[in-house]
Amino acid sequence: MKTKTPSAKSGNQTIRSGRFDTGPDAVLETINASIGFDKRLYGQDIAGSKAHCAMLVATGILDRKDGEEILKGLERIEMEIEAGEFTFETALEDIHMNIEARLRELIGNAAGRLHTARSRNDQVATDFRLWVREAIDASGLALRELQAALIDRAEEHADTLLPGFTHLQAAQPVSFGHHLLAYVEMFGRDRGRLDDCRARLNESPLGAAALAGTSFPIDREMTAATLGFDRPMANSMDAVSDRDFALEFLAASAMAMTHLSRLAEEIVFWSSTPLGFVRLSDAFSTGSSIMPQKRNPDAAELVRGKAGRALGALSALLVVMKGLPLTYSKDMQEDKEPVFDTADTLLLCLAAMTGMVRDLEVNAERMRAAMDSGYTTATDLADWLVRVLGRSFREAHRITGEIVKLAEKQGMDLESLSLKEMQGIEPGITQAVFDVLGIERSVASRVSLGGTAPANVREAAEKARARFL
């Protein structure tokens, strides 16, 4: 059964009493209301109100008995919301006034004392920071899970080889595990950006009031500590007008979604019919309504597509904020929907990508076969000419190009050319050149720091596990 909340008329009186003769136009009421989305802040709003109430009692601003009644009422409201028994009223505009109106129903006039030394401006800034902080923590954990999946698969496939591409052309042979570890590094940077955002976010606006602070003897250090902030914000005008934390979260999320999109594109490419390097499990594939043979990588394509939402959200909020003077303007109500949507999208896409990575079926034979026609060991040949024959790299590059042209003309790989054929282009070449032309030997030779040699990959995976997990 729904709990009865105040009527639209009483809600308008709560907010407009004293200054206005009539109620708002219906259009204004609709455009002004944010309760449809900011009700997600109920937990943070109640936590902030509890901290504010405790501080008011501790400083003697609020009577202890009223404080106890307020805290009991807030706890009941939280239970009603979580049980789905609370009716949110559009006429009350936002989560703050919906909770305050219900509190007044429960405990009477004492509810009005909770707003002493506080404005909706510092209240919403506090709520939103608390919400974004939790979203950062959840996103960081989800990124960690994806990194763990990638590291596990990288260790499993340290010796699995495939063409590394530039310009989508086969370039050099690499370890599939090495390829996966590249994304571990990307997502590690994403976690770092979120951590940086969290550190700058973790200051409390509560107590800044509307914009100028308050004449009441409040204790902002107390409320900041209660809510887990490192300190109060130093300037009351900055406290209510700053949305850098939301922009930073959107920027970090947009970067993470960009990385997810790149990995999704790899999966779409690898799973395409011409390549067949990987196969998505049934859990992350869909069929066609008309072609019964199809296995579509829809989960990967949707991750790739949803990156656009995050990029758009960042752009939208930057445009909202770019022309606003200090301090609070109603435009800033537009901050929450892009942040909420981006946080939801990022968590969904991280969960989908983690599932795809863990379930991915790898076709090592198809990967290996793709390297036979791409002359992916040509660089090894050029390096051998430099190292053994003392040629300059540019000269070695030209010689190797001519040898590749010969092999291509004869329809064979470099390793299949005869020594005599190679010596027809460069007489100094010896039988020893064949030691570097094998794909496995090529990959194994890449032992420089950060290189793709399987031994490197196993060591890098172990270090990544220690760094990130």
Which residues belong to the active site? 167, 288
Residue type, 244: D
| Torsion sign across C-alpha atoms 393, 394, 400, 401 | positive
Cβ(160)–Cβ(179) under 8 Å? no
Q: What are the residues whose beta carbons fall under 8 Å from the beta carbon of 378, sequence distance 6 or more? A: 400, 401, 403, 404, 414
Quick one: which H or E segment has residue 74?
A: helix 64-82
Strand, coil or helix: 278: strand
Extract the tokens encoding 207: 């107590």
Q: 327: cis peptide before it, omega within 30°?
A: yes
How many angstroms separate the CA atoms of 27 and 45, rounded?
27
Strands 203-204, 231-232: pairing kind:
parallel
Tracing tokens 């993470």 back to the chain, one arrives at 256
How many angstroms separate the CA atoms of 12 and 92, rounded?
7
Residue 446: alpha-carbon gap to chain centroid: 32
Strands 169-175, 161-166: pairing kind:
antiparallel
Backbone angles phi, psi at 302, to 5 degrees: -70, -40
What are the distances in angstroms from CA 287 to CA 282, 295, 297, 323, 344?
10, 5, 9, 48, 26
> Residue 431's CB: how many other CB atoms inside 10 A?
7
How many angstroms separate the CA atoms of 98 and 370, rounded?
63
Q: Which of 344, 345, 322, 346 is nearest to 334 (CA)?
A: 322
3-state helix, strand, coil in the chain (%, to 5): 70, 5, 25
Taking the alpha carbons at both ends of the chain, their separation in whole angstroms is 46
